A = this chain, B = another copy of it.
């Protein structure tokens, strides 16, 4: 169930990377982490912002990182794109065809026009933001519409958009609000959930497992694995952190 988020921030990297250029550091760090945690993870989630922050070379670095990850692990491109039909088609092409991602995260504010272009390939999956783990999410997602929150309406719209292509729609549901996760799991027992917010963001694993019951779920952790140690033992520390989390998740 473990998904390892790749949010490579040169300012947080172990001492071994202090002398490298940012591009080298990002590529080498991600590749090393990828190898170290692969035995414990079924998926990787590169966060596009950390690559784009490197400028135009960042997308090349991302491609290098993707090529170095084990072939049999899922790659979820955390891009949170959300735009209308013809533009969304271009994003789908960029992330599925050009980068070879298995899944992408999608923002729902523009309605289903911005989701359906990502559902054309039954081998791929769009994880649509429903209830996210950050504090200010409530300002939009918890607005009440006829007695229920916006995030439930959004989740229903997303799942409905994928009803002709089972398995192509998942939901992003933050670990920091297990009661929302439980509520969505009751309504959508078979929908894959991507659950960020464990670790640095404060989500509790036992609460998440209880809330999820037995639905399909990927639990993401980024910083607490990537930056488990800033010293020369960063590879062992990342592997140990991933292993511990994988064990907790499999109980």
Contacts and interface: CB of A to CB of B under 8 A. Distances in A.
Interface residues of A, number: 58
A165 B216 CA distance: 44
A131 B173 CA distance: 25
A101 to B, nearest CB: 12
A9 B90 CA distance: 9
Query: Binding site of A, secondary structure by majority: helix, strand, loop or mixed?
Result: helix
A145 to B, nearest CB: 5
Interface stretch (A31-39, A54-62, A226-234, A241-249): A54-62
User: How many subunits of this chain does the assembly comprise?
Assistant: 2
A90 B53 contact: yes
A47 to B, nearest CB: 6
A134 interface: yes
A144 interface: yes
Nearest to A145: B143
Given A59-B59, A80-B81, A80-B82, A110 B53 contact: no
A134 B146 CA distance: 24
B90 A111 contact: no
A112 interface: yes
A49 B88 contact: yes
A190 interface: no
9 contacts: A7-B86, A9-B90, A49-B81, A50-B87, A53-B91, A80-B82, A110-B136, A143-B145, A144-B145
